[in-house]
Structure 1
Amino acid sequence: MESKRGWLKQSFGKRLNAIHSWNAWILLLLTATGIVLSIGAIRGDLGSFRVTLKQLHIYLGIASILLLILYAPMIRKHWRQIRTRPNQRANLVFVLALLLGWAGSGVILWQFRHMPPAWNNSALFVHDLLTWVGVPYAVYHAISRSRWLKRQQRLEQAAAAGKPPVTRSAVPAPAAAASVAAAEKAPVAANDATSRTAAQAVIAALKESPITRASFLRLVAGLLLVIAVGPAFYRWIKGALDNGGSATDEYVANDGNRMLPPPEPLPDSAAVVGGGAKGNFRVYTVTEIPAFSSDNWKFAISGLVDNPNAWNWEQFLKLKRTVQVSDFHCVTGWSVYKCTWEGIPLKEMLAAAGVQSSAKFVKFYSGDKVYTDALSLSQANGDDIMVAVMMDGKPIPQQLGGPVRLIVPQMYAYKSVKWLQGIELIDKEHMGYWEVRGYDNDAWVGRSNA
């Protein structure tokens, strides 16, 4: 209660400055944590710290919303104070729009388990877009409002104001009377002084630069930010909005796998092209992306089964495949809709292996030799769980988990093991790579605690 009274006793200006400072620090920390979380290449290096960092990012976001609530009663008075400053009003509107957009989309991403996937996808796009726009703007704002630049501006204003003021109050009354009398007696001298003042004004105007030093430095800072951020922003916005499948084509063109012969798509697989071809996948990995060759690639099923088996690439391609169309949901909020997958239904592969009665779980091994995950036997017998070989009529490229990956459509994608090469039937529960780092073992879409 005392702290509340102390806050209210402070002057309006002090409270406004305090909120501005707190918001700047929170924005800086949000930017730093958000950038680290968004770098897919270091997800594995972060390990369990990534979960802690994600929680910190959420708490900082909540603090930012609380600051907005604290500022809300002050908006009206602040708006009146800057009524003669259109630039400051425009800045205020822009910053509030950024903060509200960040807050709204952030809340949806925070509560993604209770939101439709389409909402999460849209919220992630908005959150990323505002970050691309807002962070450079905040950097520019910090530079343009820095104390050093303000000092430069004050020096320029002082230099410009250095001309002798022509005001009545600057001259004492007796002196003013004397000067009037002198002017009456010497009209020629008065005309000469007027001419001199007019001439000086012309020269002073010629000396004035069309752009001040402070304005020039702001312009340079803005241009440098555009040059630094512009190309990366263009690539991001192109990838986010481009529905031509160019990103997937790039994955295929730069595929490091050398799997011969390539799989021949079934008619339904080649004819039905879904969301995967639109290039809307984001590439995340906890290890270096491995490359495979058909010369040494193997796939095995073992453990508590009657018929353990191992296949080379040519043998694996002879297994009976089916086609399904399903959505793909990532736990970070994005989704790819209506992907056309072709592969072997997992329940058929398990049935052929002859699962023993003591088996309770199915463990999956990635070819990166690091990543593992597991499903209960009842989960693994779902109709739409597939050991996929093709996506949208093409071999699954290396960066998207090919040549073979697991697809578990009704669970978040950390269960859909990439570069799948081994399946083992076990009798005890296995905690996968992300599960031991804080993610939910039952990763059902809409019900996960990850």
Structure 2
Amino acid sequence: MDNKRSWLKHSFGKRLNAIHSWNAWILLLLAITGIVLSIGAIRGDLGGFRVTLKELHIYLGVASILLIALYAPLLRKHWRQIRTQPSRRANLVFVLALLLGWGASGVVLWQFRHLPPAWNNTALLIHDLLTWVGVPYAVYHAISRSRWLKRQQRLDQAAAAAMARPPAAQPAAYAPAAASAADAAAERTAAQAVIDALKKSPITRASFLRLAAGLLLVIAVGPAFYRWIKGAFDTGGNDIAEVASQDGNRMIPPPTPLPDSAAVIGGGAQGNFRVYTVTDIPAFSSDTWQFAISGLVERPNVWNWEQFLALKRTVQVSDFHCVTGWSVNKCTWEGIPLKQMLAAAGVKPSAKYVKFYSGDKVYTDALSLDQADYDDVMVAVMLDGKPIPQQLGGPVRLIVPKMFAYKSVKWLQAIELIDKEHIGYWEQRGYDNDAWVWVPQEGV
């Protein structure tokens, strides 16, 4: 209560400046943590710290929303105060739109387990778009409102004012000896013309520095923003073709698609995959690649590439959901149903869990036998009628459509039946072992 009274005792200007300052620091920390979280290449290096960083990002986002609530009672007076300054009003509207958009989309991403995946995908797109626009704008705003630049502006204004003042009369002792009135008038006219030209100069030092800062930001951010926006709004699955063109796997022969797979019965993946990995992306060759199933089974087995391709495959259409908020919908997967492989191996009664090993020799995860028995859990070898690219987990990866993708182990090379629960790579680092995607209740 005392803190509230103390805050209300502050003048309007002090409260406004305090909110502006707090908001600037929070936005800076949000930008830093958000950018670090978005870099897929360092996910593995961050390990468990990534979960802590994500929680910090959420707390900072909540603090930003609270600041908006704190500012709301001041908005009306502030708006009236800047009624004669259209540029400041435009800046205020833009900043509030950014903050509200960031806040709303952030809340959806925070509560992703309780909302439909389509909401998360839209929220992530909005959150990323506002970040691409908002962070460079904040940097430009900080530069253009910096004390140093304001000092340059004051110097420019002082110089212009000095040039506009008429020259002081000189003492008679120092006056020119003799000059005709006509010469004096002509000289004054010429001098005034120079001053008028300088006063109409198209750009001051402060304006030039603002323009230079803006151009540098456009040059630095522009190409990356173009690539992002092209990928974000390209829902035709071209990203799959792009990563396939850089494929480092050498698997011969390639799998021959089944008719439904070749026809891409799902219509083509809608959306784009984001490439995440906890290790360097491994490459595989059919000369050395092997796949094994062992542990608590009656018939352990190991296959080379050609033998693996001879196993009976099926085709399914399912969505792919990442725990970070993005989804790729209507993927046409071709592969061996996991329950088919387990039935062929003969699961022993003592087995309780299915453990999966990635060919990167680091990543592991597990499902219970009940979870592994779902019809759509697949050991996949093809996506949209083509071999799964190396960057997307090929030549073989697990697909668990009803769970978030950290359960869908990439570069899958071994399955082991075990009797005790196994905690996977990301689960050890704070992710939920229960990775179910949101499922709507009946009637919703």
Please state which band the TM-score falls in when normalised by the shorter chain: over 0.9
Amino acid across the alignment from 1:412: F
Find out whether 1:252 has 2:244 as its counterpart.
yes
* CA deviation string 1:93-117 (max 9, x = no partner): 1111000000000000000011111
Query: 1:400 corresponds to which residue?
Result: 392
Q: Secondary structure at the match of 1:293?
A: coil
Find out whether 1:219 has 2:211 as its counterpart.
yes
Unaligned runs of 5+ in 2: 167-179, 440-444
Q: Secondary structure at the match of 2:394?
A: coil
Query: 1:378 corresponds to which residue?
Result: 370
Query: 1:207 corresponds to which residue?
Result: 198
1:426 to 413, 418, 421: 418
What is the distance in 2 between the residues matched to 1:67 and 1:39? 28
Query: 1:342 corresponds to which residue?
Result: 334
What is the distance in 2 between the residues matched to 1:192 and 1:81? 51
Query: 2:316 corresponds to which residue?
Result: 324
Identity %: 80
Query: 1:157 corresponds to which residue?
Result: 157
Q: Secondary structure at the match of 2:162?
A: coil
Query: 2:172 corresponds to which residue?
Result: none
Q: How much does 1:11 deviate? A: 1.1
What is the distance in 1 between the residues matched to 2:153 and 2:267? 54
Query: 2:442 corresponds to which residue?
Result: none
What is the distance in 2 between the residues matched to 1:390 and 1:260? 14
Find out whether 1:67 has 2:58 as its counterpart.
no
Query: 1:122 corresponds to which residue?
Result: 122
* CA deviation string 1:337-392 (max 9, x = no partner): 11100000000100000000000000000000000000001110111100001011
Find out whether 1:387 has 2:374 as its counterpart.
no
Q: Secondary structure at the match of 1:154?
A: helix
Query: 1:86 corresponds to which residue?
Result: 86
Aligned partners of 2:271 and 2:327 also within 8 Å? no
Query: 1:58 corresponds to which residue?
Result: 58
What is the distance in 1 between the residues matched to 2:265 and 2:206? 55
* CA deviation string 1:279-306 (max 9, x = no partner): 5111111110000000000000000000
2:283 to 253, 267, 291: 291
What is the distance in 2 between the residues matched to 1:117 and 1:193? 81
TM-score (norm 2): 0.93
What is the distance in 2 between the residues matched to 1:253 and 1:28? 38
Q: How much does 1:199 deviate? A: 5.6
Aligned partners of 1:406 and 1:416 also within 8 Å? yes
What is the distance in 2 between the residues matched to 1:275 and 1:197? 79
Q: How much does 1:192 deviate? A: 10
Query: 1:281 corresponds to which residue?
Result: 273
What is the distance in 2 between the residues matched to 1:444 and 1:392? 24
Q: Secondary structure at the match of 1:439?
A: coil
Residues 205 and 275 of structure 1, relative CA distance in 2, 3 Å threshold = farther
Aligned partners of 1:360 and 1:376 also within 8 Å? yes
Query: 2:46 corresponds to which residue?
Result: 46
* CA deviation string 1:175-225 (max 9, x = no partner): xxxxxxxxxxxxx99x99998776654331122321000000100000000
Residues 130 and 280 of structure 1, relative CA distance in 2, 3 Å threshold = same
What is the distance in 2 between the residues matched to 1:241 and 1:274? 19
Aligned partners of 1:363 and 1:426 also within 8 Å? yes
What is the distance in 1 between the residues matched to 2:271 and 2:82? 46
Unaligned runs of 5+ in 1: 167-187
* CA deviation string 1:253-294 (max 9, x = no partner): 111000000000000011125476455111111110000000
Aligned partners of 2:271 and 2:329 also within 8 Å? no
What is the distance in 1 between the residues matched to 2:123 and 2:111? 11
Aligned partners of 2:269 and 2:328 also within 8 Å? no
Query: 1:175 corresponds to which residue?
Result: none
Q: Secondary structure at the match of 2:303?
A: strand
Query: 1:10 corresponds to which residue?
Result: 10
C-alpha RMSD of matched pairs (Å): 1.9
What is the distance in 2 between the residues matched to 1:345 and 1:64? 46
What is the distance in 2 between the residues matched to 1:288 and 1:354? 35
* CA deviation string 1:384-440 (max 9, x = no partner): 100001011000000000000000000000000000000000000000000111111
Aligned partners of 2:360 and 2:411 also within 8 Å? yes
What is the distance in 2 between the residues matched to 1:278 and 1:253? 19
